[in-house]
Amino acid sequence: GAVVSQHPSRVICKSGTSVKIECRSLDFQATTMFWYRQFPKQSLMLMATSNEGSKATYEQGVEKDKFLINHASLTLSTLTVTSAHPEDSSFYICSARDLAGGHTEAFFGQGTRLTVV
Amino acid sequence: AQSVTQLGSHVSVSEGALVLLRCNYSSSVPPYLFWYVQYPNQGLQLLLKYTSAATLVKGINGFEAEFKKSETSFHLTKPSAHMSDAAEYFCAAGLMGNQFYFGTGTSLTVIP
């Protein structure tokens, strides 16, 4: 199946700094990628849909200026948490679907554990 | 609109016992259905998927699920639980568009 790689797997940053998380589709082109946030013992909350070459579509309640998404190529989307605060600490996961490759499922990155101190 | 409901946020079974995790979907059009497993601090791994072929779907690690249109269900089962099955399980639904809909997850505990 298709592979989605997410980096870094863990990051600790100081409050007020910015953190960039990368999501790559390794063997397929992803015109659309999805960014999720997951709180402990909870389900995945869709934050935004990243569209290659255009602006991301954010879910209601997600701050666009706080969570910057860039999808500059068909294989890379980045999520930047700007001016991070402790409440931004969470597990962030990206995913993509390879519909052109005949795969109906979503492929997920390994996730990024962000801790803001 | 799509929605996915997982009954039971926590399920405990004894090692060797039957595992049954419930999932119901609501949609006017039967969607593609999936079960994913998540281990701590990891992404989601696909267990199995239903894509309108066989209604009984076999997946990895001995899991299987049966699509029942009349009940709008896609319950996940495994005949004999193993300690390594302890994890979080998510049911998901999606159409051919890009959006995916997740259930709230079920945490499976296996008791030795």
Measured CA to CA, the distance from residue B9 to residue A117 in angstroms comes to 31
Q: Rounded to the nearest 10 degrees, how much is the dihedral formed by the CA atoms of A84, A78, B91, B18?
A: -80
From A38-42, A47-51, A70-74, A102-106, the region with the lowest mean pLDDT: A102-106
pLDDT for A90 equals 95
Reply yes or no on whether the pLDDT at A103 is more than 70: yes
B75 CA: distance to closest CA in chain A (Å): 17
Contact status of B41 with chain A (Cβ, < 8 Å)? yes
Reply yes or no on whether the pLDDT at A109 is more than 80: yes
Facing residue for A104 by CB, picked from B49, B90, B103: B49
The average pLDDT across A87-103 equals 87
Between A111 and A41, the more confident residue is A111
pLDDT for A112 equals 96
Q: How many CB atoms lie within 10 A of CB B16?
A: 11
The residue in chain B having the minimum alpha-carbon distance to the alpha carbon of residue A6 is B43
The residue in chain B having the minimum alpha-carbon distance to the alpha carbon of residue A97 is B98
One digit per residue, the tens of pLDDT, for chain B of length 112 reads: 668 999 999 999 999 999 999 999 987 777 889 999 999 888 899 999 998 778 999 999 999 999 999 999 999 999 999 999 999 999 998 876 667 788 999 999 999 9
B46 and A49 within 8 Å at the Cβ level: the answer is no
Measured CA to CA, the distance from residue B54 to residue B58 in angstroms comes to 10
pLDDT for B92 equals 92
Facing residue for A43 by CB, picked from B41, B43, B105: B105
The average pLDDT across A60-72 equals 93
A52 CA: distance to closest CA in chain B (Å): 13
